Structure 1
């Protein structure tokens, strides 16, 4: 029997936070196909990511707030099997595109499982978990989505036109990833997980993220200017302004009182505003870069 708590731990709406990577890959894919767009979206966002969320929640057994759930319900045994069922469905849907695409999802899923599984538990290694989480949720996911959308194989992973934008998405996630851990220090300490945020400290986490965000901004500005897309250089700067302002305001409060403001509500606020704006920006970039808007106008 599937319990309500297990469905909640899948955190399907939380997939929204990784949707910008899909839109960015969609904007750059050379072979747009409606059917492949649907299968890639469903396999990743409706099944693969929720599977990963549920599997990690099963082994973490969090008692305090986690991403997307302020008061997580107690984990039940059916969550383990439900997460594996979602993983299997993701692989089956991916296979509708190609065996190569399905194998990419398999690799992503196995790495995700290693993040929280007690026999490996990457989560307890601060720099390694930060590197792998950002690399796979960013670059690897971008390349995987790009391959699925265009029906390409593993050979595209090291192509410059995939590697460069893919690494830019990893930079975005490397900057944000430690911030998602600032309110979980007590929970992580209870389990013995030395996350990057615990290692850096609360104020150190914000300073580190600020540095990575600056590198990310510089990278995207170079990317658009190199493609002679000066217009998107300005659109990008405009889109980033509210996110930067929120981050600086939050950082200022944290410097005054870390214990009070490095909390779940502020973290989810940062995630929400970033997801809303980045999804809007990359979806608009997809419409413009593929000239769909121009076609619709005629």
Structure 2
């Protein structure tokens, strides 16, 4: 019997915030296939990510707000096997494409488990957890999507044309990831998790994120200009503008009262506006870079 609590802890709608990585990968896949596109999307966003969310919740047993749940319900025993089952299904879907995709999904799940499991608990190491979370949710997921939609193998992980855009997605996640921790200092401290935001402090977290957003923006600018896509760069900056305005307004409030404004509502607002704008941009870039709209006669 699957409890309502466990279904909530899967936080399936939260997968929306990671969809931009998938759309960016689509813009470069050399052998687009409609069926594989759908199955890879389903494997990642309806099975793999929820599995990771549920597994993390099972061991964290949060009592305060977490990403996607303002008031997380009490964790029940079925959440562990439910999260594991979703992971197995994701691997199975990968297997229908090829062995490499299944292995990459398997590895993502193992790293996610190491992130949360008490014996390894990567989450308690501030810089390591920050690096791994950004690397796997960005570059590694980009590679899964790229390889999965085109039915390629794991060697894409070592290809420059995958590494560079993949790391660009990681750069955005490395900038924003510490912000997701600013309202969890109390619970993380009680649990013994030394998150990066705890190390940096609330204001330090925002300064760190500011620096990384600047570096990420510069990296994307270089990437698009190097590809002679100046018009795309302007569209990217336009998409990023509302996100940066929101961030700067939030940062200003943090400077006035860090404890009051480092909260769940502000963080989820940041996530939502980022996901909407970046999804819109990367969908546009998918059509622009692949010229698929011309093939469809539009």
TM-score normalised over the length of structure 2: 0.99
Matched, 1:217 2:221: no
- What is the correspondence of 1:206-245 to structure 2 with a 5 Å cutoff? 206-245=206-245
3-state SS in 2 of match to 1:28 = coil
CA–CA distance in structure 1, aligned partners of residues 25 and 181 of structure 2: 27
Kindly report which structure 2 residues correspond to 1:79-98, keeping only aligned pairs within 5 A, or say none. Answer: 79-98=79-98
Q: Which residue of 1 aligns with 2:171?
A: 171
SS in 1 for 2:27: helix
1:32-89 residue CA offsets vs partner (Å, 9 max, x unmatched): 1011101110110000000000000000000000000000000000000100110111
The question of 1:36 aligning with 2:36 is answered yes
Give the distance between the partners of 1:229 and 1:295, measured in 2 at CA.
20
- The RMSD of aligned alpha carbons is 0.7
Show structure 1 runs of 5+ residues with no match.
Answer: none
The alignment partner of 2:152 has SS state of coil
Are residue 255 (structure 1) and residue 249 (structure 2) matched?
no
String of CA shifts for 1:235-257, please: whole Å, max 9, x gaps.
Answer: 01111110010000000000100
* Partners of 1:39 and 1:96 within 8 A in 2: no
Query: Counterpart in 1 of 2:193?
Result: 193
Matches within 5 A, 1:117-128: 117-128=117-128
Q: Contact between 1:101 and 1:144, CA under 8 Å: does it hold in 2?
A: yes
What SS does the aligned partner of 1:183 have? coil
Query: What is the correspondence of 1:10-25 to structure 2 with a 5 Å cutoff?
Result: 10-25=10-25
Paired with 1:211 and 1:57, the residues of 2 have a C-alpha distance of 30
Separation in structure 2 between the aligned mates of residue 240 and residue 45 of structure 1, nearest angstrom? 23
SS in 2 for 1:72: coil
Structure-2 residue corresponding to 1:281: 281
SS at match of 1:236: helix
Query: Which secondary structure does the structure 1 equivalent of 2:73 belong to?
Result: coil
The offset of 1:99, in angstroms, is 0.7
Q: CA deviation at 1:287?
A: 1.3
Instruction: Work out the CA distance in 2 between the residues paired with 1:162 and 1:227.
Output: 15
Alpha carbons 1:20, 1:279 under 8 Å: kept: yes
Q: Report SS of the residue matched to 2:194.
A: coil
User: Paired residue for 2:77?
Assistant: 77
Query: What is aligned with 1:56?
Result: 56
Aligned equivalent of 2:155: 155
User: For residue 141 of structure 2, what is the aligned residue in structure 1?
Assistant: 141
When the two structures are aligned, how many residues end up with a matched partner? 298
Contact 1:143 1:166 in 2 (8 A): yes
Consecutive unaligned residues of structure 2, counting only runs of 5 or more, are: none
